[in-house]
Amino acid sequence: MRRLILLAAVLAAMAGPVRAVTPDEQLPDPKLEARARSLSRDLRCVVCQNQSIDESDAALAHDLRIILRERLLAGDTDDQAVAYLVQRYGNFVRLKPPFQADTLALWLGPLAVLLAGGAGAAIYMRGRSGPPAPLDAAEEAELAALINTDEAH
């Protein structure tokens, strides 16, 4: 068992961050390459949808990485390079969706749920607070009657 744990630890230590970028894709200019890498981490691979194109081994992800680097080499800003892909594949390629009319529910939904929950909790807490009002004379009499019937059994 101990050996197994040791083996697992060694393997875990050896496993670096998984990257699909191959050396032939990389740009000679380290600054541009760094920009390309950071942009591609936020771009979705449309084939294997929950991976970024930085992580994906899909052929299309490879093509998109190349295109992204071509745009940067051509002098595009980060926004322009991303816009180039968004034009073709829609906002879905952005792993971080932009804040706009059709994503309001996405961005503000959790906040709305939190507020609704908070309001519900506040109402509940307020309902609970304060000691109950003391019994009036009629209620006292009723209570006494109930207790007495119970004792009679």
Rule CB under 8 A: choose which of 2, 4, 87, 133 binds other proteins: 87
* Segment near other proteins (CB under 8 A); pick from 32-40, 74-82, 84-92, 137-145: 84-92
Place of tokens 């691979």: 45
Q: Does 46 bind other proteins (CB under 8 A)?
A: yes
CA torsion sign for 67, 68, 74, 77 is positive
* Segment near other proteins (CB under 8 A); pick from 8-16, 22-30, 60-68, 72-80: 60-68
How many other C-beta atoms can be found within 10 angstroms of the C-beta atom of residue 42?
15
Q: Does 11 bind other proteins (CB under 8 A)?
A: no
What is the SS3 assignment for 119? Answer: helix
By beta-carbon proximity to other proteins, the closer residue of 14 and 59 is: 59
Burial class (CB in 10 A: 0-12, 13-18, 19+), 56: buried
Question: Are residues 53 and 43 in contact, defined by beta-carbon separation less than 8 angstroms?
Answer: yes
Judged by CB under 8 A, the number of residues near other proteins is: 15
Burial class (CB in 10 A: 0-12, 13-18, 19+), 67: middle
Residue 64 identity (one-letter amino acid): L
Q: Does 73 bind other proteins (CB under 8 A)?
A: no
Map residues 92-131 to x or -, x wherever contact with other proteins holds by CB under 8 A. Answer: x---------------------------x-----------
**Rounded to the nearest whole angstrom, what is the least distance from the CB of residue 49 to other proteins in the complex?**
7
- For other proteins, the binding residues (CB under 8 A) are 46-47, 49, 59-60, 63-64, 67, 86-90, 92, 120
